[in-house]
Amino acid sequence: MSLTSTHLACEQSVCGSCTVSLDGRAVRSCLVLAVPCEGRAVRTVEDLADGEGAEGLNPLQRAFSAEHALQCGFCTPGFLVLAQTALEQDPAVVDDPERLRRLLTSNLCRCTGCEPIRRAVLRAPGRDPDAPHRLH
Number of domains in the chain: 1
Q: Is residue 29 part of a domain?
A: yes
108-115 long-range contacts, CB within 8 A, separation 24+: 108/14, 108/15, 108/16, 108/17, 108/75, 109/75, 109/79, 110/72, 110/75, 111/70, 111/71, 111/72, 111/75, 112/68, 112/69, 112/70, 112/71
Please report, in tens digits, the pLDDT of each residue of the chain (136 residues total): 566 677 677 777 788 989 999 999 999 999 998 898 999 999 999 999 888 888 889 999 999 999 999 888 889 999 999 999 999 999 999 999 999 999 999 999 888 778 999 999 999 877 766 655 443 3
Residue 55 lies inside a defined structural domain of this protein: yes
Record the pTM: 0.86
What CATH number does the domain containing 40 carry? Answer: 1.10.150.120
3-state helix, strand, coil in the chain (%, to 5): 40, 5, 50
Domain extent, residue 101, equals 19-123
